[in-house]
Amino acid sequence: MTYNIENENGVLSNLLRDVQDKAAKQIDIVTPTSELQFKTELPVGDFPVNSRIIVEAHKGEPTRFFDINPVAFSQIAVDAGLDTKTARKLQTICPNEFDGVVNKLWEKEPKKRLLRAHAYSTDEKFITNQSMTYLGAPLSNTGVARA
């Protein structure tokens, strides 16, 4: 007896191919926090305050920019010893000082982090998991290598 779970439209095969294509376009960057820079952009027009992580060019690699989503921001705040609400307030009221604190902590207490870029993503934001890993997608084409 032969069993087939695929339908005539090939939905499962298409789904599997889509997942494999996306996985192939994924770029993982493992780097210590001492080689990262935290930078907050001030609000412009309808765009709210936004922080990003910059991975500086190193050993021939291009400089990459990553926006941070709320979950990743919370993880960065907790890692810096702050609750998320206080970190958001500092980000809004005194962004340069907040950036300085995060950058100094990353420099003085370096930890390995995984940043994941999805070349297919249109949602250019960080996503995270439980292991305090910062994951994300690259921003614009300016100075950013694409897979």
Per-residue pLDDT of the chain (147 residues; tens, 9 = 90+): 677 777 778 788 888 888 888 777 777 778 888 989 999 988 888 878 889 998 876 677 778 888 887 888 988 999 899 999 999 999 999 999 999 999 999 999 988 887 776 665 444 444 443 333 454 433 333 333 333
Q: What is the pTM of this model?
A: 0.65
Cβ atoms of residues 89 and 31 within 8 Å: no
Q: Which pLDDT belongs to residue 38?
A: 94
- Helix residue ranges, H only, 41-94: 70-79, 84-93
For residue 103, what pLDDT is reported? 96
Query: What are the structure tokens assigned to 113, written together?
Result: 């982090």
From first CA to last CA, the distance across the chain in angstroms is 44
Cα(107)–Cα(91) distance, integer angstroms:
19
Residue with tokens 């910062």: 134
* Alpha-carbon span 51 to 42, nearest angstrom: 9
Locate 128 and state its tokens. 């995270």
Of 147, 138, 146, nearest in space to 67 by CA: 138
**Coil, strand, or helix at residue 141?**
coil
pLDDT value at residue 118: 62
pLDDT score for 107: 94
Question: What pLDDT is recorded for position 131?
Answer: 35
Q: Which amino acid is at 37?
A: Q
CA-CA distance, 79 to 74, in Å (whole number)? 8
* Residue among 56, 8, 9 nearest 29 (CA): 56
What pLDDT is attached to residue 90? 95
Q: So what's the pLDDT on residue 104?
A: 96
Per-residue pLDDT, 147: 31
